[in-house]
């Protein structure tokens, strides 16, 4: 943090101290020369002020971007500041809380209320997210005709700062039950991120001749972000006692990209075979990965109504219109301008309590997204045009929930949900150079699924709290809603408190998924969490937890080359994910003066899939040698074997243990001052075969921070 920012924070702290001086009681008189309040005046004014400035010392080793993914990674001056003021006669409250770590990482919240007449709030948040350099592509392993360009420096610290600011105000109109409100905000992102793309024929060599680029092209490069999203909304809230509440709102949102879009080399060779159905593109630089500026208008209506003493209704409906304002000036831009989206969403919920033991909830929802992005292009034959664009999505679902209380100890809950999905214009989905790929999700015009479940809940006054349940999901067509075809889930949790100072709990779930008869695939997913909380003495609590996740999946693998070369498929490829987390936490307070806390967590994550790597099982694809650049059939077989090994190895395998430690010591002085020390430690290790020389930069790293704080509460 620079000197100016540090001085600004100190100035704000001093201002808060001045503001925190007790306000004089409104409408109250004191005798000259006296400073005490008359005894007959009640204490109707309260305030609480916390001022704890802090300074953080930070040290890192190795690659800090992963272990400090959401850390500003700065030595900084900050602090915790809060001010609370209540004036009862004037119905006035003021609350402000500041949590500042650095100039790039803070959370500020303030709110002022004046009875039922005024409610004003401010929220400001900023943080940085770091992303590690993931530049490995394995181009030379996959195919010799792929040229890879990496412009991102290994071990680069890619960080994007995000700032979120919101404000709202609500005013009660006099004499009528109407409140007017306005709210708005803006979000900004700026920094560097990594962008990767693959095209059908750029080689990155400059200058380029008119015959086009003779190679496929893969690139990893920096992309500087600098854009904002703004919104402002206003409306009215009408309340008719406890019977009806209606809220109408109109909102305007805008997205503005303040940077030029990426401009990189594209092009295809002039002698490409027409059988590959790849469009000929003159070699040159083209705009791609466009972040277009756009504007959205949204109208919404919310209704809450008490139909009767036992029946209530909640509903909302909104309609949004988004227009893309990006207009390309270069005809070679690989986007079409000014396509728009319309969205219509609605929700309705009916709650019925006919008797005290029974509760029924009926709900209905729909989401409709209409895309108006349609364009056409020509492939190798200029006389034939293909249409492509974004399909529209229509989703509707309705449900019924019933809850019945048999006794003070037993509750039964059941639920049913039916979902329908319709995708219009799905034939517009193809990839740019693959017009035959009309719909990779294999969706029939209408897809529906059904979910049925029930659970039984038992709870006693102090000793037991247990629940067990079952849920079944089925769909007539796999792919979009759920895959496989059926889903059986058994779950339950229990909490046991045999002694007032000891609590033991467990939460487990098992899912069995069965695919449709064509593939006969079965998957299993297991989750389990155990926790123990103890309180040996009054001011000391200690607890621990263990979480286990295992996912056994059999999926289908498909490696496709150009259509003239061939496609390799293998069903029922085994995949396994295993994650375990251990954690311990403890707090202790000694004589209401010294507070100690400790949190330790250790996580272990493993995953990967492994196809059959028997080299004798690899078929030779006719045309691979001549089209893809292999020197012989043996070279192709070797390359294909290596490609499958890459997929079964660094592409899919994960082995990343992580350790987090946090400790705080805090001492409360008798004069109202507080002081202490906070320590945080993080360690991230990547033990997969990504982490070898020449494959991927080393992302192992550790982070340590020491924070000293001292201040006062009054």
- Going by C-beta distance under 8 Å and a sequence separation of 6 or more, which residues neighbour residue 438? 426, 427, 429, 430
Stated as kind and residue range, the H or E segment containing 475 is strand 464-475
More confident residue, 87 or 486: 87
Shortest CA distance to 278 belongs to which of 431, 457, 404, 478?
431
Helices (H), ranges, 498-647 = 624-628, 633-646
State the Cα–Cα distance between residues 714 and 711, nearest whole angstrom.
10
> What region does 651 belong to: left with phi over 0, alpha with psi -120 to 50, or beta?
alpha
- Going by C-beta distance under 8 Å and a sequence separation of 6 or more, which residues neighbour residue 493? 466, 467, 505, 506, 507, 508
State the Cα–Cα distance between residues 289 and 195, nearest whole angstrom.
9
pLDDT at 682 over 90: yes
pLDDT at 361 over 80: yes
Give 135's Cβ-side CA count (13 Å radius): 24
State the Cα–Cα distance between residues 298 and 309, nearest whole angstrom.
34
Contact call for residues 52 and 82 (beta carbons, < 8 A): no
pLDDT at 211 over 60: no
Place of tokens 């400090």: 68
- pLDDT tens, 598-617? 999 999 998 888 777 666 66
State the Cα–Cα distance between residues 639 and 588, nearest whole angstrom.
61
Stated as kind and residue range, the H or E segment containing 7 is helix 3-19
Q: Between the CA of residue 10 and those of 94, 124, 289, 712, what are the distances in Å? A: 21, 19, 44, 15
Q: Could you give the dihedral angle defined by the CA atoms of residues 407, 408, 410 and 414, in that order, rounded to the nearest 10 degrees? A: 80
* Pick from 20-24, 172-176, 381-385, 487-491: least confident: 20-24
- pLDDT tens, 547-562? 999 998 877 776 665 5
Q: Are strands 410-424 and 392-405 parallel, antiparallel or unpaired?
A: antiparallel
Residue 96: the pLDDT is: 96
Contact call for residues 593 and 607 (beta carbons, < 8 A): no
pLDDT at 542 over 90: yes
Stated as kind and residue range, the H or E segment containing 13 is helix 3-19
Cβ–Cβ contacts within 10 Å for residue 282, how many? 15
State the Cα–Cα distance between residues 686 and 160, nearest whole angstrom.
23
- Predicted confidence band of residue 628 (pLDDT cuts 50, 70, 90): low
Place of tokens 């895309």: 371
Average pLDDT for 42-49: 79
Give 520's Cβ-side CA count (13 Å radius): 0
Residue 694: the pLDDT is: 53
Residue 581: the pLDDT is: 96
Residue 2: the pLDDT is: 46
CA angle, 322 then 323 then 325, to 5°: 145
- Predicted confidence band of residue 143 (pLDDT cuts 50, 70, 90): low
Percent of the chain with pLDDT over 70: 73
- pLDDT tens, 26-43? 333 333 343 344 444 456
- pLDDT tens, 235-263? 999 998 889 999 999 999 998 866 667 77
- Going by C-beta distance under 8 Å and a sequence separation of 6 or more, which residues neighbour residue 329? none
Buried b (16+ CB within 10 A) or exposed e, 216-241: bbbbbeebebeeebbbebebebeeee
CA angle, 301 then 304 then 305, to 5°: 130
- Going by C-beta distance under 8 Å and a sequence separation of 6 or more, which residues neighbour residue 218? 137, 139, 146, 147, 148, 149, 196, 197, 198
- pLDDT tens, 372-417? 877 776 665 667 677 777 778 889 999 999 999 999 899 999 999 9
Give the DSSP letter string of 87-136: ETTTTEEEEEEEEEEETTEEEEEEEEEETTTEEEEEEEEEEEEEE-----
State the Cα–Cα distance between residues 606 and 550, nearest whole angstrom.
10
- Going by C-beta distance under 8 Å and a sequence separation of 6 or more, which residues neighbour residue 404? 357, 358, 359, 411, 412, 413
Give 498's Cβ-side CA count (13 Å radius): 3
Residue 215: the pLDDT is: 63
- Predicted confidence band of residue 482 (pLDDT cuts 50, 70, 90): very low
- pLDDT tens, 656-667? 899 999 999 999
pTM (global) more than 0.85: no
Place of tokens 């709990």: 505
Place of tokens 């080399």: 265
State the Cα–Cα distance between residues 394 and 374, nearest whole angstrom.
18
Contact call for residues 570 and 559 (beta carbons, < 8 A): no
Residue 65: the pLDDT is: 85
Per-residue DSSP letter, 649: I
Q: For residue 301, give the 3-state DSSP assignment.
A: strand
Greatest mean pLDDT among 284-298, 326-340, 660-674 = 660-674
Residue 45, beta-bridge partner list: 87
pLDDT at 4 over 80: no
Rg (CA), the chain: 31
> What region does 520 belong to: left with phi over 0, alpha with psi -120 to 50, or beta?
left
Residue 658: the pLDDT is: 94
């Amino acid at each position: 943090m620079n000197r100016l920012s540090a001085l600004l924070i100190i100035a704000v702290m001093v201002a808060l101290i001045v503001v925190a001086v007790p306000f004089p009681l409104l409408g109250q008189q004191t005798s000259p020369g006296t400073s005490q309040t008359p005894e007959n005046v009640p204490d109707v004014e309260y305030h609480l002020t916390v001022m704890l400035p802090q300074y953080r010392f930070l040290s890192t080793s190795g690659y800090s971007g992963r272990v400090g993914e959401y850390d500003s990674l700065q030595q900084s001056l900050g602090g915790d500041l809060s001010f609370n003021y209540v004036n009862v006669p004037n119905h006035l409250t003021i609350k402000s809380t500041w949590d500042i770590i650095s100039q790039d990482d803070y959370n500020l919240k303030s709110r002022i209320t004046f009875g039922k007449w005024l409610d004003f709030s401010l929220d400001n948040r900023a943080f940085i997210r770091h992303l590690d350099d993931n530049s490995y592509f394995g181009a030379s392993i996959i195919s010799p005709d792929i040229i890879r360009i990496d412009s991102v420096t290994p071990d680069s610290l890619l960080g994007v700062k995000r700032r979120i600011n919101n404000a709202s105000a609500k005013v009660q109109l006099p004499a009528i039950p109407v409140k007017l409100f306005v709210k708005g905000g803006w979000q900004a992102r700026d920094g560097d991120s990594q962008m990767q793309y693959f095209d059908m024929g750029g080689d990155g060599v400059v200058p380029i001749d008119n015959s086009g680029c003779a190679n496929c092209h893969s690139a990893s490069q920096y992309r500087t972000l600098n854009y904002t999203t703004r919104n402002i909304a206003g409306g009215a809230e009408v309340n008719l006692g406890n019977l009806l509440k209606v809220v109408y709102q109109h909102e305007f949102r805008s997205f503005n990209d303040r940077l030029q879009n990426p401009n990189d080399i594209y092009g295809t060779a002039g002698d490409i075979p027409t059988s590959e159905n790849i469009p000929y593109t003159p070699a040159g630089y083209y705009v791609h990965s466009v972040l277009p500026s756009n504007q959205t208008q949204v109208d919404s209506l919310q209704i809450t109504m008490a139909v009767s003493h036992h029946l209530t209704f909640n509903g909302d409906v909104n309609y949004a219109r988004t227009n893309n304002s990006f207009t390309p000036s270069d005809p070679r831009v690989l986007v079409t301008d000014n396509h728009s989206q319309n969205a219509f969403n609605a929700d309705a919920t009916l709650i019925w309590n006919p008797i005290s033991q029974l509760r029924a909830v009926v709900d209905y929802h729909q989401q409709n997204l209409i895309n108006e992005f349609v364009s056409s292009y020509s492939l190798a034959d200029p006389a034939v045009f293909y249409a492509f664009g974004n399909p529209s999505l229509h989703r509707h679902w309705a449900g019924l929930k019933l809850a019945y209380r048999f006794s003070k100890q037993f509750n039964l809950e059941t639920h049913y949900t039916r979902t329908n999905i319709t995708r219009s214009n799905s034939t517009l989905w193809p990839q740019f150079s693959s017009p035959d790929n009309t719909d990779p999700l294999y969706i029939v015009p209408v897809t529906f699924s059904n979910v049925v479940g029930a659970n039984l809940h038992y709870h006693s006054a102090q000793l037991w709290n247990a629940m067990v349940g079952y849920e079944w999901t089925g769909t007539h067509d796999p792919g979009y809603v759920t895959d496989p075809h059926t889903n059986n889930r058994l779950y339950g949790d229990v909490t046991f408190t045999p002694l007032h100072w000891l609590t033991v709990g467990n939460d487990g779930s098992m899912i069995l998924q069965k695919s449709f008869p064509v593939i006969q695939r079965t998957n299993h997913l297991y989750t389990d969490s155990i926790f123990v909380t103890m309180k040996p003495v009054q001011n000391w609590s200690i607890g621990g937890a263990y979480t286990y996740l295992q996912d056994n999946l059999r999926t289908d693998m498909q490696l496709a080359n150009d259509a003239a070369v061939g496609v390799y498929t293998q069903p029922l490829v085994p995949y396994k994910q295993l994650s375990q987390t251990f954690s311990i936490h403890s707090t202790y307070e000694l004589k209401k003066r010294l507070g100690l806390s400790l949190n330790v967590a250790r996580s272990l994550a493993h995953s990967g899939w492994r196809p059959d790597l028997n080299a004798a099982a690899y078929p030779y694809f006719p045309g691979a040698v001549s089209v893809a650049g292999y020197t012989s059939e043996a070279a192709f077989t070797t390359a294909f074997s290596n490609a499958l090994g890459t997929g079964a190895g660094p592409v899919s395998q994960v082995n990343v243990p992580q350790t987090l430690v946090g400790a705080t010591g805090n001492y409360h002085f008798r004069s109202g001052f507080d002081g202490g020390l906070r320590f945080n430690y993080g360690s991230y290790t990547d033990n997969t075969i990504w982490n070898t020389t020449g494959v991927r930069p080393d992302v192992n790293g550790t982070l340590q921070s020491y924070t000293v704080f001292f201040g006062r509460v009054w």
